[in-house]
Amino acid sequence: MRVCVLLNGNTRTINKCIDNIFDTFNFLNPDYFISTYDLKYGYHPYIKSSLNYLEDKYLTDQEILNLYKKINVKGILIEKHCDCLNFYEAEKGKFAPEFLNLESSFLQYTKIRKGIDIIKNYEIMNNFQYDLIIKTRNDIIHNKIECNLLTLLNSNTVIVSNKNVFPNDCIIISLRDNFIKIINSMIEEFYIPKYINSNINPPHGLLEAAIINNGINIKTLAIMNYVARIDTNQYYG
């Protein structure tokens, strides 16, 4: 089984989490791909309001690469945060009215799709395809996976964490083609909505619509322990 792990989003507290990420997924012998920004934290205003928030800062490419020395990185995309914001401003005029003002959700899932593009390019260069894609974040402490993921996955199943709002969008584990189908469906929804109420409770409602309406079942797994914030740990029931 060929497995890749996509670490998506701002690097945030990867320095606190990199050992745990390695220990959690190493038994799968995965390749790692990174889709990140030069802006370190980039917290949503809601999260910033609940933290003793420090001034954000921009990292150089080399500083970012140094954060991932422990893992087997096969591809990395480091985007300028301002370029992504400009892209959003250019695109939002094309959105359906109910999907306006969902900047965070749109950028989050376009970032994942860019990570998928890195994965696909690596597959083409090496003439193979991954069987399984695991998407997680740079600021999560994971529980040990104590089961065979393939026993939980089949042609129409996706696994998410059982923590936080259902379905949890922090961790997504899926067979390769289903993963790509889900992410593409979510982004397409901004432009031409197909699913009733998919804009409600973003990004969780959008994720749920994309999964269910593609005929895929959702399973939950106790894989997320907590989110490592700047100066605290955030646990979800």
State residue 14's pLDDT score: 98
Report CA-CA distances (Å) from 34 to 64, 77, 107, 150, 233: 10, 6, 15, 24, 23
CA–CA dist 117, 78 (Å, integer): 13
pLDDT in tens, 181-199: 999 999 999 999 999 889 9
Question: CA torsion angle for 36, 40, 45, 50 (degrees, to 10)?
Answer: 120
pLDDT band at 151 (very low <50, low <70, confident <90, very high): low
Q: What is the reported pLDDT for 209?
A: 95
| Lowest pLDDT segment from 51-55, 94-98, 103-107, 207-211 | 51-55
Closest to 199 (Cα-Cα) out of 106, 112, 134, 107: 106
Res 52: pLDDT: 67
- CA 24 to mean position of chain CA atoms: 16
**Closest C-alpha to 188, from 166, 170, 213:** 213
Burial of 220 (0-12, 13-18, 19+ CB in 10 A): middle
Confidence of residue 227 (pLDDT cuts 50, 70, 90): very high
pLDDT, mean over the chain: 92
Which token pair is 139? 């600021």
pLDDT tops 90 at residue 205: yes
pLDDT-derived band of residue 135, with 50, 70 and 90 as boundaries?
Answer: very high
Give pLDDT tens digits for 12-55. Answer: 999 999 999 999 999 899 999 999 999 999 877 667 666 666 67
Q: Are 42 and 81 in contact (CB under 8 A)?
A: yes
State pLDDT tens for residues 45-96: 667 666 666 678 999 999 999 999 999 999 999 999 999 999 999 999 999 9
Give the mean model confidence (pLDDT) for residues 210-235.
91
Q: How far is CA 131 from CA 7, 128, 167, in A?
A: 17, 10, 22
Q: Using 50, 70 and 90 to split pLDDT, how confident is the model at 175?
A: very high
Alpha-carbon span 137 to 124, nearest angstrom:
25
Q: Are 192 and 132 in contact (CB under 8 A)?
A: no
pTM of the model: 0.94
